[in-house]
Amino acid sequence: MRIGELAARAGTTTRTLRYYESRGLLPARRTGNGYRTYDEGDLRLLRQIRTLQDVGFDLEETRPFVECLRAGHPEGDSCPASLAVYRRKLDELDALIGRLSTVRETVARQLARAELAAEAQVPGGPEPVCELGGDLR
C-alpha cells in the first residue's frame, strides 16, 4: 500500500509517517518510481506506536516495542527491552501520582483552613470594599 492509504488506515497523516520514517521507526521501502510502499506489518508497527503514545509514552519510548515487532514477535511488549520501558513508565507514573497526592493534600488543608476562617467571620460585619481602586458607583 502507498503512504496515503497507510496513513488513512492508521488514523494519522502522511506527514507523521514521514516523521516516523526519519526517526527510524517506520521502514522506508520504495517502488521503482520512487513511491513509498508499506505492508500489513507496517500497519502493526504504527498501531503499536499510536497505542503507546495515546497512553503517554513519548516517541522514543516506543522504539523497543517497534523493534520487538520487527524481530518477529507476535506482540511488541514481549521483549525484555519493552518490559523495561513499561517498568520505567510505571515508576514515573508512581512518582507523579505521589507528587499529585501531596499537592492535593496541601490544597485540601488550605481549603479547610479557609472555610473555617470564613465561618468564623461575624455575620453583618462591614461591607466588602473593592481594593482595585477607582469609583465603582
pLDDT at 34 over 60: yes
pLDDT at 89 over 90: yes
Average pLDDT over residues 16-42: 93
pLDDT in tens, 99-133: 999 999 999 999 999 888 888 775 655 566 666 66
This prediction has a pTM of 0.75
Torsion of CA 64, 66, 70, 74, to 10 degrees: 90
Cα–Cα distance, 38 to 24 (Å, whole number): 14
pLDDT at 71 over 70: yes
Nearest residue to 92 via CA among 56, 45, 128:
56
Model confidence at 42, pLDDT cuts 50, 70, 90, reads very high
Nearby residues of 28 by Cβ (< 8 Å), 6 or more positions away: 21, 36
Average pLDDT over residues 68-78: 94
Q: Measure Cα distances from 52 to 18, 48, 65, 66, 115 in Å.
A: 19, 6, 9, 11, 43
Q: What is the pLDDT of residue 25?
A: 95
Q: Measure Cα distances from 83 to 64, 68, 71, 76, 121 in Å.
A: 9, 11, 15, 10, 57
Model confidence at 28, pLDDT cuts 50, 70, 90, reads confident
Cα–Cα distance, 109 to 107 (Å, whole number): 5
Specify which residues 29 forms β-bridges with.
37
Q: What is the pLDDT of residue 21?
A: 95
Average pLDDT over residues 52-64: 96
